[in-house]
């Protein structure tokens, strides 16, 4: 079973001994067992978001191929507007209140892991993701927030975050489904006042149209690869 931790790279590395991706990090994945060594090293140490998605496919260590824009200009613009907001909001559900840092674990748990807090987190996730993904993320977020609080390490707590788009590599829309390739990075304001800027990742995301969703589209799947600097 794949676990995803929607936390900063530095935070997740502390949990996972190096598995990382922008806000969407992987650990304890049974899917890596049968992978070639080169692929497994990327999944476990370089940041493929969801190895289960690619475990059965051929993989040669190269980035996702860019795609040609396809679809109406209006839909492409809507998808480009939605994705940064969705990726920011997805990780935002792991935020804690900066005003609670000095008040101890009990106050942090009450604010971040109470029934009301978990219900709010679930509602927010279902406004940006399909139900199955929202359920997985809710479980992983609750677990990761609890671990961050119990660690008593303020560097593991973030109070705000933003996904910063760097480059579009194509958006393809077919009916009510959109696929996009893009490069971007995450920025995290940690509870101790430090600004953490992650390395850029290449993302492949799939969205489904939903007029009731916060951004008009719901995230259905997402993968991320480190950007290799040559």
What digits encode the pLDDT tens for the residues 196-206? 999 999 999 99
108-133 burial, b at 16+ Cβ within 10 Å, e below that, comes to bbebbbeeebbeebbebbbbbbbeeb
What pLDDT band is residue 98 in, cutting at 50, 70 and 90? low
What are the pLDDT digits (tens) for 147-191? 888 887 666 778 899 999 999 999 999 999 999 999 999 999 988
Mean pLDDT, rounded, for 135-152: 89
Mean pLDDT, rounded, for 218-230: 83
Number of CB atoms found within 10 A of residue 90's CB: 25
| d(C-alpha 120, C-alpha 101), whole Å | 21
What pLDDT band is residue 66 in, cutting at 50, 70 and 90? very high
* More confident of the two residues 114 and 77: 77
Report all structural domains of the chain as residue ranges with CATH numbers, in order of start. Answer: 3-54 (no CATH), 73-226 (3.10.450.230)
Tokens in use for 70?
Answer: 């396809």
What are the pLDDT digits (tens) for 19-36? 223 233 322 233 333 333
Tell whether the model's pLDDT for residue 195 goes beyond 90: yes
What pLDDT band is residue 109 in, cutting at 50, 70 and 90? confident
pLDDT value, residue 34: 39
Mean pLDDT, rounded, for 9-22: 32
Helix (H) / strand (E) element for 134: namely helix 131-151
Tell whether the model's pLDDT for residue 7 goes beyond 60: no
Tell whether the model's pLDDT for residue 58 goes beyond 70: no
Instruction: Kindly report which listed range (64-68, 142-146, 148-152, 212-216) carries the lowest average pLDDT score.
Output: 148-152
What is the overall mean pLDDT for the chain? 76
């Amino acid at each position: 079973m794949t676990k995803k931790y929607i936390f900063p790279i530095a935070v997740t590395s502390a949990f996972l001994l190096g598995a990382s991706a922008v806000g969407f990090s992987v650990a304890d994945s049974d899917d890596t067992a049968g992978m070639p060594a080169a692929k497994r090293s990327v999944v476990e140490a370089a940041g493929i978001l969801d190895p289960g998605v690619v475990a059965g496919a051929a993989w040669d260590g190269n980035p996702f191929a860019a795609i040609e824009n396809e679809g109406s200009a209006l839909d492409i613009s809507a998808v480009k507007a939605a994705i940064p907001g969705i990726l920011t909001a997805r990780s935002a559900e792991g935020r804690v209140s900066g005003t609670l840092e000095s008040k101890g674990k009990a106050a942090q748990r009450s604010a971040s892991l109470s029934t009301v807090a978990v219900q709010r987190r679930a509602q927010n996730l279902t406004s940006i993701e399909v139900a199955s993904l929202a359920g997985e993320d809710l479980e992983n977020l609750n677990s990761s927030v609890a671990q961050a609080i119990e660690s008593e390490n303020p560097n593991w707590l973030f109070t705000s975050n933003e996904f910063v788009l760097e480059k579009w590599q194509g958006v393809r829309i077919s009916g009510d489904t959109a696929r996009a390739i893009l490069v971007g990075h995450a920025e995290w304001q940690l509870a101790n006042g430090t600004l953490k800027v992650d390395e850029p990742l290449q993302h492949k995301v799939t969205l489904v149209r939903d007029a009731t969703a916060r951004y008009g589209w719901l995230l259905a799947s997402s993968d991320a690869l480190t950007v290799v600097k040559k």
